[in-house]
């Protein structure tokens, strides 16, 4: 299946930034293969990744290089489980273990991006593990034809461009921070088996309030900067209770999150951490079209 990904990547114009990214990744793998996780490494971390606007990260070294470097700083996981802002569904659901198609849930971009592939190995074993971890009262629904949405496949295609790690997507079943922390806690044992647990969203996501200056100059509005500073401080202090009060406590609301699905995957990430109240390690910060792309890993 990875050959279909390679074939699609080969059709990207050679001058495109992502084509160069793929070439560098292939060369690095040939000279210095990404070391696979072993039990001696201990538990994989859990990540919160700001995934950018549609396919825009494919065009920018400011996304490509840090995300790939982040992935290479960790052992190559046995599998990846992603909870994305772009799949809100209850009851809890899992994607196809080996989907035939991606979900191209963005519009107005170069038609080339709708031909991108990310055909990863079968994630059936991970799907069985996730299903078994849920309480009997929470039956997990299997969407056997649903592919990965852009909140999952865009950052992962940058981080793991060879498409050689099984990937499963888990739906975001609620907006309640406490329930998502509990969901993350149930997923925590996966990390000890080499599974990378990722919450994918965006640290600020005020799409209705984007301006021309934000697009053309990356001008950062006060509401985005204020929310990011508040979140960074709470994360540095491990103040999960403060983060859970974001609707009322965070400056810049509701402009930063007029809907909250791009912030709440953060609670799955923290819930999956060994110690949710420990300070996190920030791996990506700054702004894209004025929106905070703060991303972090928790141990």
Q: What is the pLDDT of residue 14?
A: 97
Residue 33 included in any domain: no
Helix-strand-coil split of the chain, %, nearest 5: 40, 15, 45
Q: What is the pLDDT of residue 123?
A: 97
Angle ∠(39,43,47) on CA atoms, nearest 5: 140
Residue 37 included in any domain: no
Task: Compute how many other C-beta atoms are within 10 angstroms of the C-beta atom of residue 205.
Answer: 24
pLDDT of 144 above 90: no
Average pLDDT, the chain: 96
* Parallel, antiparallel or unpaired: strands 291-292 and 287-288: antiparallel
Over residues 43-76, the pLDDT tens digits come to 999 999 999 999 999 999 999 999 999 999 999 9
Residue 73 included in any domain: yes
Q: What is the pLDDT of residue 185?
A: 98
Residue 262 included in any domain: yes
Give residue 128's domain range: 4-22+43-298
Residue 30 included in any domain: no
Q: What is the pLDDT of residue 139?
A: 84
Over residues 191-214, the pLDDT tens digits come to 999 999 999 999 999 999 999 999
The strand pairing partners of 291, in sequence order, are 288
pLDDT of 2 above 60: no
Residue 12 included in any domain: yes
Residue 38 included in any domain: no
Percent share of the chain, pLDDT over 90: 96
Q: At a CB cut-off of 8 Å and minimum separation 6, what does 270 contact?
A: 46, 48, 181, 184, 240, 243, 276, 280, 298
pLDDT of 255 above 60: yes
Q: How many structural domains compose the chain? A: 1
Q: In which band, very low, low, confident or very high, does the pLDDT at 137 lie, cut at 50, 70 and 90?
A: confident
Q: What is the pLDDT of residue 3?
A: 76
Q: What is the pLDDT of residue 1?
A: 45
Residue 28 included in any domain: no
Token pair in block for residue 297: 């890993």
Indicate which CATH number applies to the domain containing 8: 3.40.830.10
pLDDT of 36 above 50: yes
Over residues 146-183, the pLDDT tens digits come to 999 999 999 999 999 999 999 999 999 999 999 999 99
pTM of the predicted protein model: 0.97
């Amino acid at each position: 299946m990875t050959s279909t990904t390679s074939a699609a990547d080969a059709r990207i114009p050679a001058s495109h930034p992502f084509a160069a990214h793929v070439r560098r990744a292939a060369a690095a793998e040939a000279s210095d293969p990404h070391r696979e996780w072993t039990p001696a490494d201990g538990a994989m971390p859990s990540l919160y990744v700001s995934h950018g606007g549609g396919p825009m990260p494919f065009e920018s070294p400011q996304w490509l290089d840090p995300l790939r470097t982040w992935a290479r700083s960790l052992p190559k996981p046995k599998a990846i489980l992603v909870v994305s802002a772009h799949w809100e569904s209850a009851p809890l659901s899992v994607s196809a273990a080996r989907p035939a198609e991606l979900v191209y849930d963005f519009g107005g971009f170069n038609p080339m991006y709708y031909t991108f592939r990310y055909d990863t190995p079968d994630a059936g074993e991970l799907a069985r593990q996730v299903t078994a971890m849920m309480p009997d009262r929470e039956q997990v629904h299997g969407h056997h034809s649903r592919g990965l949405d852009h909140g999952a496949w865009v950052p992962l295609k940058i981080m793991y461009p060879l498409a050689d790690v099984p990937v499963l997507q888990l739906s975001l079943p609620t907006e309640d921070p406490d329930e998502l922390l509990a969901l993350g806690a149930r997923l925590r044992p996966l990390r000890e088996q080499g599974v990378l647990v990722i919450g994918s969203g965006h640290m600020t996501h005020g799409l209705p309030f984007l301006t021309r200056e934000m697009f053309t100059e990356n001008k950062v509005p006060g509401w985005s900067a204020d929310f990011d500073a508040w979140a960074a401080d709470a994360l540095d202090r491990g103040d999960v209770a403060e983060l859970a009060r974001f609707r009322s406590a965070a400056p810049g609301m509701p402009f930063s999150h007029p809907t909250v699905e791009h912030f709440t995957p953060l609670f799955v990430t923290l819930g999956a951490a060994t110690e949710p109240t420990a300070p996190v390690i920030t791996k990506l910060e700054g702004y894209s079209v004025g929106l905070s792309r703060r991303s972090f890993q928790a141990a």
